[in-house]
Amino acid sequence: MDRSEYSNHWRIGDIVVTSVVEQSFDWSAPGFLFPDATNEVVQRHRWLVPDYADSEGNINGSVQALVIDQAERRILVDPCVGNGRSRFLPNWHMQEFDFMDRFAGAGFTPESVDIVLHTHLHADHVGWDTYLQDGVWTPTFPAARYVYVRDELEWHKESWDPDRREVWQDAISPVFDAGLADVVECDHDVGGGISLAPSPGHTGGHVSVWLRSHGQVGLVTGDFMHHPLQFAEPGLREIADDNVELARGTRRSMISQASQLHALLIGTHFAFRSGGRVVPSGEGWQFNPD
């Protein structure tokens, strides 16, 4: 992969958003994300080619963190899978990603992060909250306040399975132990034009991040959607969606708002060109990358 693919920038008024990609998925049949989708379903939507689908109807994706820069502070959203984790999915188990090198290569230091936000607490959104230092899981961003949504924390503990327990133990609990955690409500105003909005269904307390500056609007999706195919097929359930019907309603509502506001939508799991505008098309929408 060319180095330029490791990061991507967008501007929303005075806010600058930079993507730092941890991992990219190879072209794959859509079933790995969407159990009800076939290659033929993807091929119906030709605008997905070449950025998000190939001519055979295979799709791509990524795991990326987003860095939001304002004059007075730096916010990191959804810091990926992390290294050395015991995880259920082989792609995430005991990995040695060069994410922190990429983070440094994009001009960022761990000490420069003021706030860490999480759209939800799945393993691929909290990983770099901590790293292993001399055998102890230690907060990666020592000067940051780490923000957790109360509903999501409660849902995470209620739906306790071995994977969630491990995420709690190695990525979340050390941050609380270090006194760096803030628990907020799902509509929390982060200040400076940045706010959380509930977008539940994928998980119980899932939120998305709205960015507003000088009349411009941006939206960081989190996992209310996973791939631009879902603009055209908003009813398509993703394999990890917890409450499928709630997730469908949320997806339609959030996409519709982004379209009406002409927002720059940044898809957390979209591949390289992950920011763009949404326009109505047929029964759904289409995505035009910026």
Interacting residue ranges for Zn ion, rule: CB under 5 A: 122, 124, 223
* Cβ 270 vs Cβ 227: under 8 Å: yes
- Token pair belonging to 217: 């609007």
* Cβ 24 vs Cβ 7: under 8 Å: no
CB nearer to Zn ion: give 170 or 223.
223
Q: Least distance from C-beta 197 to Zn ion, angstroms?
A: 17
Q: Least distance from C-beta 122 to Zn ion, angstroms?
A: 4
| Mode of pairing for the β-strands spanning 7-12 and 15-28 | antiparallel
CA–CA dist 171, 26 (Å, integer): 27
Q: Least distance from C-beta 222 to Zn ion, angstroms?
A: 7
CA–CA dist 163, 205 (Å, integer): 18
CB nearer to Zn ion: give 143 or 240.
240
Q: Least distance from C-beta 205 to Zn ion, angstroms?
A: 12
CB nearer to Zn ion: give 69 or 124.
124
Q: Which CA distances in Å does 39 have to 44, 128, 232, 235, 286?
A: 9, 34, 14, 16, 18
Residue 268 neighbours by CB under 8 Å, 6+ apart = 64, 66, 77, 78, 119, 125, 220, 221, 222, 223, 274
* Cβ 118 vs Cβ 202: under 8 Å: no
Q: Least distance from C-beta 121 to Zn ion, angstroms?
A: 9
CB nearer to Zn ion: give 147 or 167.
167
CB nearer to Zn ion: give 122 or 188.
122
